[in-house]
Chains A and B, each alone.
Chain A
Amino acid sequence: MYKYDQYDQAMVDARVAEFRDQAQRRIDGKLTEDQFKPLRLMNGLYLQLHAYMLRVAVPYGTLNSTQMHVLADIADKYDRGYGHFTTRQNIQYNWIKLEDAGDILADLAKVEMHAIQTSGNCIRNISSDHFAGAAQDELVDPRPYAELLRQWSSFHPEFMYLPRKFKIAVIASDTDRAAMRLHDIGIQIVKNADGEIGASFYVGGGMGRTPMIAPNIRDFVPLDQLITYSEACLRVYNRYGRRDNKYKARIKILVHELGAEEYTRQVEEEFAHLLEQGIEPPIAELERIKPFFADPAFEDGTKTVDRSDPDFALWVDRNTHRHKHDSYVSAVVSLKPVGGIPGDATAEQMHLMADLAKEYSFDELRVMHTQNIVLPHVKIADLHALWTKLEAAGLGTPNLDQIGDIIACPGLDYCSLANARSIPLAQKISERFKANGKEDTLGELKLKISGCINACGHHHAGHIGILGVDKKGVENYQLSLGGSEAEDTALGKITGRGFDEDGVIEAVETVTDVYLAQKEDGERFLDTYNRIGMAPFKEALYD
């Protein structure tokens, strides 16, 4: 994985010093909360319902065991002994004191980590495929491109006060595991007819209150123009994105209002101008970055799994992913125990995952946008030993992409924006479907819960989505069906009137019963929904 050189290190060290100064000025009363707010936000520090929340960046979701150990230490030393992995492949801590923030950033900087631009109206942490560099189906490893974009977007002087936050994802396979088309910019690394590698740009996707799927605005940008093209996309947005209404300020609204064709025309015009400016990094920089992501020394070994232990076999079937080397798999550590808080991990669990990564996965871990952790390169021969240790620590839940593998935002338990609680609902649903045994018969079913219309829990993209709203002071939940964040990207449709908390749990059970009754061979919930449409579900829910 990428290693900082003295320049990268100097940048994060400078940031720590700058933030210490800013926090001290706030503590001394030289900065008002209003003046301090944009500064702390660009360092990932939010003022939440009960305390400060600090969000730490995990660039493209990749980290090593040393970094994971430090994340655990921070949870122990400055928080309440746990951290929360997020849908942007980051980690956040919910109980931080302002006085400690500078020390935390200094601890992070020692292991090449930071909280730069994890919030604020700027370019956020770049996300990527959590199986990058391991997946059998990828064209190339997308992370060198994400790293180049990370450097370009860090402290970009022109784009620190955009109309709204800006999220970029980079993938390099036709299977989309990063919700690429639901980003402000989604980039797929592709090969053209001449066999050259380049970038296909999708711009203007997003969730939130006005979900949109990004249109493709250019199917091939040569690699030696990648940064210049990105800069053109951003400049058009910075100049013309709406600033009159916070809820219409994301780039998806600009692209939608101009139309993809007109937005593209403006980008191409700006691009032609910027090409004259010589702002592109030398292609040698990409070549410098690539070897950091070279394959580790894979060894041939056992290619088959001993399935004599049925619990282990189930975990292998559910929680491992095909690797490009046939003696390895990528193993998913579920942070969704039955009845648990999605994405939470204790300091002890983080230490254990770090140790296991060191022992079994070439010292590497990934954070998934679905709030689980991946050990990307595990020998098939080591799988049983790994699983045994995970099981013992409560990390062996075999539920990847099952109904219990719920994405949920922090909701009203933590978040000052939320209208409704998300976490208790996720806990109850996972308990219900475990207890009634249906999880095992339902197969792949992605359920996502957001506690407000900002959609941090990705409910629009859930096969089943739940949105918490405030209805005259009472928490109420809307149900939607048919969303997808994969390569068949789709936005869910609302079933009808909302439900109270118990009611929405019943409603989820009702729609899964419709699926079980109607499914044809090999169909997932989403496939059945797409074939039979909303009507049978609506009928079961409301008639």
Chain B
Amino acid sequence: MTDLLRFRDDTPTTDPVAAFETCCDQSNATAVRIEPGDDARALLTFLDRLTLVEVNFPVYGDGRGYSAARILREAGFDGEIRAVGDVLVDQLNNMRRCGFDAFQPNAPLDRADADAAFKTWPEVYQATTDGRNPIWNIRHGANHE
């Protein structure tokens, strides 16, 4: 767990992480790992029992996990969404914006590099579920709901 970069106050779960298929069939799994081809919306019916969703990036260039994370957050999921696999420092910022709040890459990340990455953009153009008010709202004194 030493290489886990985490932006949450609660304690990481120690429950076993179920594969997507088994999780959908089992009624008691609290942690699940999804692969790029898995439909995150299939988790929505039992989100309330999940504390952790791991989203695997077998290669950094496969961006399906970004949509998966946003879909979970848009459904109100407030558990941990952890990016695992081929996750590089240059992707962290976008991942945070899409709802990831923990990172456990194959190659360990330097905490200082990660902190610098999160400071790259003073403001953002788009509205996501990360709570940042987009530029086009700031310009007009509006707030993102």
Whether A35 sits at the interface, judged by CB under 8 Å, is yes
> Which residues on B sit within 8 Å (CB–CB) of A11?
121, 123, 125
State in angstroms the CA–CA spacing of A39 and B139 once bound together.
Answer: 30
Interface secondary structure of B, over-half rule: loop
Q: Chain B: interface residue count, which band?
A: 35 or more
Are A161 and B136 in contact, CB atoms less than 8 angstroms apart? no
> Which residues on B sit within 8 Å (CB–CB) of A157?
66, 93-95, 97-98, 124, 126, 128
Are B62 and A156 in contact, CB atoms less than 8 angstroms apart? no
State in angstroms the CA–CA spacing of A38 and B70 once bound together.
Answer: 22
Are B135 and A151 in contact, CB atoms less than 8 angstroms apart? yes
Are A22 and B90 in contact, CB atoms less than 8 angstroms apart? yes
State in angstroms the CA–CA spacing of A89 and B97 once bound together.
Answer: 31
Report which of A18, A238, A281 forms a contact with B67, defined as CB distance below 8 A. A238
Total CB contacts across the A-B interface at under 8 A: 98
Are A158 and B98 in contact, CB atoms less than 8 angstroms apart? yes
Whether B43 sits at the interface, judged by CB under 8 Å, is no
Are A285 and B74 in contact, CB atoms less than 8 angstroms apart? no
A 112-171 contacts with B by CB, 8 A: 121, 151-152, 154-162
Q: What is the number of residues of chain A that contact chain B, defined by CB distance less than 8 Å?
A: 37
With A18-B120, A160-B94 known to touch, is A282 a contact of B136 (CB < 8 Å)? yes
Are B88 and A35 in contact, CB atoms less than 8 angstroms apart? yes
State in angstroms the CA–CA spacing of A155 and B91 once bound together.
Answer: 11
With A7-B138, A157-B128, A273-B74 known to touch, is A14 a contact of B122 (CB < 8 Å)? yes
B residues adjacent to A (C-beta < 8 A): 36, 60-64, 66-67, 70, 74, 88, 90-91, 93-95, 97-98, 120-129, 134-140, 142, 144-145
A residues adjacent to B (C-beta < 8 A): 5, 7-8, 10-11, 14, 17-18, 22, 35, 38-39, 121, 151-152, 154-162, 235, 238-239, 243, 273, 277-279, 281-282, 284-285, 288
Query: Given known contacts A158-B98, A159-B66, A279-B126, what 12 new A-B pairs fall within 8 Å (CB)?
Result: A10-B123, A14-B122, A22-B90, A157-B124, A158-B63, A158-B66, A238-B66, A243-B36, A281-B134, A281-B136, A285-B140, A288-B139
A-B pairs with beta carbons under 8 Å apart, 7 shown:
A11-B123, A157-B95, A158-B66, A159-B63, A238-B67, A281-B134, A284-B140
Nearest first, the 4 closest Cβ-Cβ pairs linking A and B are A161-B63, A157-B97, A157-B94, A281-B136
